[in-house]
Amino acid sequence: MDAADQDLSPWVGKRQTVVDTISPVQVRQMAATLNDAQRLQRPDSRPLPAGWHWLFFNPVALQSGLGPDGHPMRGDFLPPVALERRMWAGSRLVWQRPFAVGTVVERTSEILRISRKTGRTGEMVFVTVAHSYRDGDGSILEEEQDIVYRGPPSPADSAALAELGAQVRAGRHAFEREGQYLQAVVVDPVMLYRYSAATFNGHRIHYDADYCRTVEGYPGRVVHGPLIATLLLNLIETRVAPGRFVRSFEFKALRPTFDLSGFHLHAAPTQGLGDTAIPLWSTDNLGQVALDGRVTLQGSAR
């Protein structure tokens, strides 16, 4: 069935509840991946950093229940969208307090809306899911996540991506926008594999180079959107405003970043670092804005 002919409206309002423990095992795996030696030794010594909750609550499907892209087959909780490629398009998050390592947390999810758009790369289907996280003391985090589904790459898409790869290999790089705070990030296949393993994410675009090139038309492995978002939050928590509590964060993924070269994190805080929003973004292998967002701080870290 063509995606345009699908009636996906029955999936709107569908709900799912998952219970998980904020296990020190995944915390240590993430700490090792990000070279956080202190947290590797004492994973429960401090609250969970912002964004690290994405290590948890992820689907654990039987091997026989996976689709060709490595994701669980659609049609259970997420709708059976008839478009092959899937990406994380953005999120909006509001924390009440940090997650605590070792606690049991319940996540209730609901499909809020499904919409269709036609863009430069063809037809797209957007699915917005709301996640509510609670433990025995009440609400921790409210989150909305946008997932975009797209069809196979067109010849024009493939040519543009091949040209991007050629430009990266030729050393072309110029920042589209540069922040007051700047941090270079070096990624390699091992780092991408370790983050995939820590999040139990089987999506092949993050570790299978042949699949990336021959099936999805990418010039290299794709850096995980939530990994980039987590690194941006880490920039805020460790360099821009250490000791402050991240109250909210929102971002949109504008274009993918690949393991062909390093990329950069940026932040442009307002003077005084009050409760106003701080712009932050990443730039891709060529220096173009890839993930664009903003964060709001409140008080001190709890």
Contacts 24+ apart (CB under 8 A), 128-132: 129/78, 131/57, 131/107, 132/107, 132/108
CA dist., res. 127 & res. 117, Å (int):
11
Q: Which residue is listed with tokens 């898409």?
A: 157
Question: CA dist 225 to 12, 67, 205, Å?
Answer: 24, 20, 12
- Tell if the pTM clears 0.85, that is, is over it: yes
Confidence (pLDDT) at 2: 58
Confidence (pLDDT) at 73: 87
Contacts (Cβ under 8 Å, ≥6 apart) of 166? none
Q: Domain containing 107: what range?
A: 3-298
CA dist., res. 239 & res. 100, Å (int):
22
Q: Domain containing 15 — which CATH number?
A: 3.10.129.10
DSSP label at residue 106: E
Contacts (Cβ under 8 Å, ≥6 apart) of 136? 103, 104
Confidence (pLDDT) at 298: 85
Confidence (pLDDT) at 269: 77
Angle at 184 between CA 289 and CA 85, to 5 degrees: 45
Question: CA dist 299 to 140, 171, 230, 276, 295, Å?
Answer: 17, 42, 20, 12, 13
Count how many domains the chain has.
1
Amino acid at 186: V
In this structure, what token pair is assigned to residue 17?
């509840």
Contacts (Cβ under 8 Å, ≥6 apart) of 58? 199, 200, 201
Phi, psi of 197 (to 5 degrees): -70, -45
Per cent of the chain over pLDDT 90 is 82
Residues of the chain with pLDDT under 70: 1-5, 121, 270-275, 299-302
In this structure, what token pair is assigned to residue 138?
């009440």
Confidence (pLDDT) at 98: 96
Q: Is residue 298 within 8 Å of residue 276, measured between CB atoms?
A: no
In this structure, what token pair is assigned to residue 95?
């924390």
Confidence (pLDDT) at 275: 57
Confidence (pLDDT) at 272: 59
